[in-house]
Amino acid sequence: MQTAEDQFQFFEGVFFETLGRDVQVTEYRLLQGGSINVTVQVHTNEGKYFIKYNTRNQEGMFETEAKGLNLLREANVLRIPEVLNWGRRDGQDYLILENIEYAKPNFDYWEKLGQNLAKLHRHTNDSFGLHFDNYIGSLQQFNEPYTDWLSFFIEKRLNIQAGLAYYNDLISKDLYDKFQHFYKVLPTLLPSEAPSLIHGDLWSGNVITDDKGDPCLIDPAVYYGNREMEMAFTTLFGGFDNRFYEAYHESFPLQPRFDERIAIYNIYPLMVHVNIFGTSYLPPVLRTLNKYLN
């Protein structure tokens, strides 16, 4: 077990690797975060920083997160934390970001989030996917480029998660076969759109309020996808304020009957949760598959 002294030494080593000079750590505070990494706010004689770290040794996790954050920052439409460094020290992988101080949300917080997410989604690409793979939660997310969304959605999103769940005995052979039959009806259900740059893991826990009271996005699983995938994801786990959806639709209207497709897109994040946390997330997946197969 690491002592407090070990932690101080670890943080000071991280700062030396990042800034090239000795930085005195005065205190650190554990933050509420996900189940995968330890997240801390570190106070130093040069200011506060945000560090996440783990000992899981999942190759490239923080490097690809950093690349995803930088890709979103380059779009220059929403506040994204600045990446200062990533690396490995004392058997622990780490990512160090600028510290974002919390303030009370502005009166137009949700409208700004909707309008600016619409601007992000107007950033497009020649193909769906990305030039590097990354992670969603603790699972690898494979982003081999495809020229059509339907093939990408089936092969690189649904089938990988269904196959992983079947391999780990989380779903039956019968349910795995249902997925295979479901893929055959998808062409009649999903519309075509140009690829959009999406955050990729956009639920309420990955949107924070910055020091100016504006929305800030964290913990991305970036790729170019159908923007309906992102908008469906926002409805999971509590969803966003209605003002967000109204502002988004006013800025960049979705195709008709989007609400009927939400459950289809959300099979992917739900199956990610099945593979990370267990079968309690299966019932809505089953309901959606049965709806279109019965």
Kindly list the catalytic residues: 201
How far is 16 from 177, CA to CA, in rounded Å? 53
* Runs of H (alpha helix) within the chain: 4-19, 61-75, 109-121, 149-152, 159-167, 173-185, 227-233, 242-251, 262-265, 267-277, 282-293
Helices then strands, counting H and E runs in the chain, come out as 11, 11
Check if the beta carbon of residue 185 is closer than 8 Å to that of residue 293.
yes
Q: How far apart are CA 20 and CA 201, in angstroms?
A: 33
Q: Which token pair is 253?
A: 């209207």
C-alpha 257, offset from chain centre? 25
Angstrom distance (rounded) from CA 122 to CA 152: 19
Longest Cα pair distance anywhere in the chain, in angstroms? 65
